Amino acid sequence: MRATRQRSFVRSESRVMSASLLVVLALLMPVDASSQTLARDSADLQVQVWAASCMACHGPEGRAEGTGLTIGGRPEQELLGKLLGYKSGKLPATIMHQHVKGYSDRELSRIAGYFASLK
Ligand code: HEC
């Protein structure tokens, strides 16, 4: 009799434990989703900060009308090709070869993608 009661107690305890595990998982899921959003938001913010330094010469949103330096809204591959060309020294430059050396190729790709998205 005693043993039976003990066994059923163990069984119900494990049921309580799996129920609380579900609660914990349910609580963790939205936290995890929002931390992913946070990581994406701060990555977006990082690209915007980099791009802001370019806008000093290339104009707000990358549009420097009348100077020939408009980069906003141009195809990503074209922009990236120029940036990598400056970095390798293949393209002659007065200024850009210095700027691009501060960024990895991956970062330049993200910056090119950002300016291309400014349609
Ligand atoms: C101090 C001014 C200045 C800043 C800051 C600057 N650029 Fe430039 N950019 C130029 C100049 C000037 C050229 C023409 C090439 C040269 O002489 O260096 C140019 C050329 C370019 C070109 C090629 C444009 C074309 O039509 O051939 C791209 C793309 C470009 N820059 C992107 C950027 C990006 C991205 C940044 C920020 C990481 C940036 N630039 C920061 C002045 C600047």
Query: Could you report the per-residue pLDDT of 27-38, keeping only the tens digit for each?
Result: 656 666 678 888
6-37: b (≥16 Cβ within 10 Å) or e: eeeeeeeeeeeeeeeeeeeeeeeeeeeeeeee
Residues 2-34 pLDDT 10s = 555 566 655 666 666 666 666 655 665 666 667
What distance lies between CA 71 and its chain's CA centroid?
21
* Residue minimizing CA distance to atom 19 of ligand 1: 96
51: region left, alpha or beta (phi > 0 left; psi from -120 to 50 alpha): alpha
Ligand 1 centre from 110 Cα, in Å?
15
Query: Could you tell which of 46, 50, 53, 58 is best to mutate to test the pocket of ligand 1, judged by most ligand atoms within 8 Å of the CB?
Result: 58
Rounded mean pLDDT, 104-110: 98
Ligand 1 centre from 65 Cα, in Å?
14
> 10 versus 77: which is more confidently predicted?
77
Residues 6+ apart with CB under 8 A from 95: 57
Residues 34-76 pLDDT 10s = 788 888 888 899 999 999 999 999 999 999 989 989 999 999 9
